Amino acid sequence: MQFTINRDFDSEGTSLRPLLEANFRYERISAAKVRNLHWLSFIGFWVWLAAIWPSLLPAPVEDVVLVLWAILFLIAVWTIVQSWTWHRKLTRYLSEHQAKQKGRNL
C-alpha cells in the first residue's frame, strides 16, 4: 500500500507516517480479532453440543475440539489486547498530528 504525503503539511513525514502505520496495523489486527471471534463461536457451538449431548462426538474428537477452543480463546485474548494497544497508539498519533497541523496553520 502506498500513500502520497502532502509535503506542505508534513515536510519531514514525522507525524503522518506513524499515524498511517498505526492505522494500517490497527485495521489488520481488528480484522484478525473479528475473524478469530467468529471461529471461536463456531468451535464453541460444538463444545456446547458435546456438553449437552455427550454421545454426539467421540471422545478423541471432543478432546481436539476442546483444545482447539482453548487455543482460539488465548488467541482471542491476544488479539483483543493488541487491538486495544494499537487503538491507543492510533489515537495518540492522531492527536499529535492534529496538534502539529494546528501549530502550522496559526
Q: Which three cell numbers stand for residue 96?
A: 499529535
Q: What's the mean per-residue pLDDT of the chain?
A: 87
* pLDDT above 70: residue 78: yes
From the list 25, 76, 68, the residue with the least C-alpha distance to 17 is 25
Average pLDDT over residues 25-35: 96
Q: Are 43 and 61 in contact (CB under 8 A)?
A: no
Average pLDDT over residues 47-64: 93
Average pLDDT over residues 25-53: 95
CA distance 96 to 16: 9
| One-letter amino acid of 78 | W
* pLDDT above 90: residue 73: yes
CA distance 15 to 95: 10
Question: Hey, where are the domains in the chain?
Answer: 19-105
CA distance 41 to 29: 18
